[in-house]
């Protein structure tokens, strides 16, 4: 997922054996900034949508957990919730809590 500029600069750095030079280290760090910034912007935009929708109806803990689920939605959709419910139903010591 590297851009053409990143690939060409990377091959030039390796070819010239300049990987230990300080300006090259700085250039390498600068090339990685857009990728990390885009990931943060995606997370904050997702949290902004969740917070604007549920601002007045939830406490901070619930909002935080919902934000994590929203950011990690692809991973959360792949979980088998029936497996979790069955595990807690069989292993929980307090029988007053009914999960099914």
Categorize the per-residue pLDDT at 80 as very low, low, confident or very high, splitting at 50, 70 and 90.
Answer: confident
- Cβ atoms 19, 37 nearer than 8 A: no
Residue 98 within any structural domain of the chain:
no
Percent above pLDDT 90 for the chain: 0
Query: Looking at residues 96-100, what average pLDDT do you find?
Result: 58
Q: What is the average pLDDT value for the chain, to the nearest integer?
A: 68
pTM above 0.75, yes or no: no
Number of domains in the chain: 1
CA 64, CA 79: separation in Å to the nearest integer? 19
Residue 96 within any structural domain of the chain:
no
Query: Looking at residues 22-46, what average pLDDT do you find?
Result: 66
Residue 97 within any structural domain of the chain:
no
Residue 99 within any structural domain of the chain:
no
Residue 66 within any structural domain of the chain:
yes
| 18, pLDDT greater than 60 | no
SS3 content of the chain, % helix, strand, coil (to 5): 75, 0, 25
Q: Which domain holds residue 58?
A: 4-91
CA-nearest of 56, 58, 75, 77 to 66 is 58
């Amino acid at each position: 997922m590297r851009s053409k500029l990143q690939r060409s600069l990377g091959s030039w750095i390796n070819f010239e054996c300049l990987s230990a030079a300080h300006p090259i280290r700085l250039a390498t760090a600068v090339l990685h900034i857009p990728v990390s910034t885009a990931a943060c912007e995606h997370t904050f935009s997702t949290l902004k949508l969740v917070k604007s929708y549920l601002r007045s109806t939830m406490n901070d803990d619930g909002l935080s957990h919902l934000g994590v689920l929203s950011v990690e939605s692809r991973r959360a959709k792949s979980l088998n919730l029936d497996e979790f419910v069955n595990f807690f139903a069989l292993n929980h010591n307090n029988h007053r809590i009914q999960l099914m």
